[in-house]
Amino acid sequence: MAPRILAFANQKGGVGKTTTAINLATALAADHKVLLLDLDPQGNASTGLGVMRQDRAAGSYALLVEGRQLAELIRPTPAPGLFIVPADPDLAGAEIELVGLEDRERRLATILAEARGTLATFDYVFLDCPPSLGLITLNALVAADGVLVPLQTEFFALEGISQITRTIDRVRRALNPRLRLDGIVLTMVDRRNNLSELVANDVRGFFKDKVYECVIPRNVRVSEAPSHGLPVLLYDFRSPGAQAYVKLAAEFLKRERARIRAS
Ligand code: ADP
Ligand code: MG
């Protein structure tokens, strides 16, 4: 069976894409096999899963630009069941180098299709996108079945999200008819902050059940975990942040079952 491929995308930085990709993946990996592709040159997903900068000899740049085999680039993480293709330092150049390549927006889709043998043992492939709507993110959207959009509840959140949803619509029409907005995850929610609640209500009013019921609270343990090279689920399982991601994974799987029944 082919894995389900999900992109974690939002052109804004610092909204919780990487944190959500890492921790949802870790929670799912308890009984699924998950591969995380770090497509952000900043490499936060790699660092957050314990692959330090000096150890990133070959990763997603080697995959996307140099034509290296996926199987050679996959590494284990501290979470059993979760594997990663890290972001190698050269990835920063990929955005420009891709411009000159044939089928530049379909590279990743083609590579993953050709690696279907390697991917057959995985249930999910998560694509952690950079904070832009450039060629790397476009490659992720063309390769993906669905998009999860992490959204920080702050002023202008709705404007920000309309940009990514318009991009998803455009990619679906022009390049990848499979692509769907899978869901919106509200991150760094502060219940003591009225604005946070107001924005959350606005987003729910507009995007209805696309928005996950489960929200991720702002929690210092979540922000500490990456400096230990661990998902917050392994760093402090009892923290509110870790528990929110456990709940998010349960809701994710419930939605997956509903989606499969409906298809
Ligand atoms: P993105 O990938 O969208 O740029 P990150 O996931 O890297 O965003 O998150 C940005 C910063 O916020 C990181 O330093 C991260 O540790 C921190 N962060 C993310 N989620 C939370 C949270 N729920 N509580 C506290 N800090 C968080
Ligand atoms: Mg990130």
pLDDT of residue 6: 98
Q: Is the pLDDT of residue 156 over 90?
A: no
pLDDT of residue 193: 84
Q: Among residues of the chain, what percentage have pLDDT more than 70?
A: 100
Tell me the average pLDDT across 19-28. Answer: 98
89 pLDDT band, cuts 50/70/90, is confident
| Protein residue closest via CA to atom 12 of ligand 1 | 14
Q: Please, are residues 88 and 60 in contact by the beta-carbon 8 Å criterion?
A: yes
Segment 183-219, tens digit of pLDDT? 999 999 988 888 888 889 999 999 999 999 999 999 9
Q: Which atom of ligand 1 is nearest to the CA of 226?
A: 16
Residue with tokens 């679906």: 172
Q: Which residues pair with 217 in a beta bridge?
A: 189
Residue 235 corresponds to which tokens in the numbers above? 């760093």
Question: Would you give the distance in Å from CA 224 to the centre of its chain?
Answer: 20
Helix (H) or strand (E) holding 128: strand 124-128
Task: Count Cβ atoms below 10 Å from residue 28 Cβ, excluding itself.
Answer: 24
Beta strand 82-85 pairing with 75-76: antiparallel
Q: How far apart are CA 217 and CA 179, in angstroms?
A: 28
Q: What letter does residue 40 receive in the DSSP assignment?
A: -
Segment 214-262, tens digit of pLDDT? 999 999 999 999 999 999 999 999 999 999 999 999 999 999 999 999 9
What's the order of all strands across the beta sheet hosting 146-152?
Answer: 75-76, 82-85, 34-38, 124-128, 4-8, 146-152, 180-187
Q: Is the pLDDT of residue 157 over 90?
A: no
Tell me the average pLDDT across 120-144. Answer: 97
Q: What is the mean pLDDT of the chain?
A: 95
Q: Which atom of ligand 1 is nearest to the CA of 19?
A: 6
- 113 CA to centre of ligand 2 in angstroms: 25
Counting DSSP H helices and E strands in the chain, the numbers are 13, 7
Q: How far apart are CA 11 and CA 149, in angstroms?
A: 10
- 223 CA to centre of ligand 1 in angstroms: 6
53 pLDDT band, cuts 50/70/90, is confident
The total domain count for the chain is 1
Find the CATH number of the domain harbouring 55. Answer: 3.40.50.300
Q: Is the pLDDT of residue 155 over 80?
A: no
Tell me the average pLDDT across 93-116. Answer: 94
Whether residue 227 has its Cβ less than 6 Å from ligand 1: no
Domain containing residue 206: 4-262
Whether residue 16 has its Cβ less than 6 Å from ligand 1: yes
